[in-house]
Amino acid sequence: LRHQRATGKARSSSSFVLLDELERGEKGIGDGQVSYGLANGEDMTLTTWNGMIVGPHGSPLEGRILSLVITCGEQYPDRPPTVKFSSRVNLSYVDQNNGNVEPRGIACLANWNRAYNLERLLKDIQREMCSQQNRRQPQPPEGSNY
């Protein structure tokens, strides 16, 4: 019974955090270089999100609109979400077979803190596109998907 209460409380806490995320995403964030929203407006669990990143200036992906799927599990925000590129990219932290983002390649995923949010996650992913090792990577044709 104690475990059930703890689990219920954790999901309830998670729901409040995700509702805040939804509100921020719907309002639009920052300079428009990253955005996110629910993949399905009927998803009452607030689990699956679509993310968008505009390829940063000075990177091989400059100006491209890149799509991602973000999955916030039951333990979010205590545990990081999983992230998968839908758009095909050639980046050091992305599994080339399926588009999954390797947590160790993105600082906020590798060192997740419950104070982090989806906006920070997308901005960190975008920032890493400009790293030395990713600037030299040849990219697949625009519009390619996993």
- DSSP of 88-125, one letter per residue? ----TTB-TTT-BBPGGGSHHHHT--TT--HHHHHHHH
Distances in Å between the Cα of 141 and the Cα atoms of 50, 115, 144, 146 are: 21, 36, 6, 12
pLDDT exceeds cutoff 70 at 109: yes
Q: Please, which pLDDT band fits residue 4 given cuts at 50, 70 and 90?
A: very low
pTM: 0.88
- Rounded mean pLDDT of 30-48? 93
- Bridge partners of 82, per DSSP, are 71
Calculate the average pLDDT of the chain: 90
- Per-residue confidence (pLDDT) for residue 6, from 0 to 100: 41
- Angle at CA of residue 96, ends 125 and 145, nearest 5°: 80
- Per-residue confidence (pLDDT) for residue 24, from 0 to 100: 86
- Per-residue confidence (pLDDT) for residue 12, from 0 to 100: 58
- Per-residue confidence (pLDDT) for residue 73, from 0 to 100: 94
pLDDT exceeds cutoff 50 at 7: no
- How far apart CA 142 and CA 109 sit, in angstroms, is 26
Instruction: Classify the phi-psi angles of 96: left when phi > 0, otherwise alpha if psi is within -120 to 50, otherwise beta.
Output: alpha
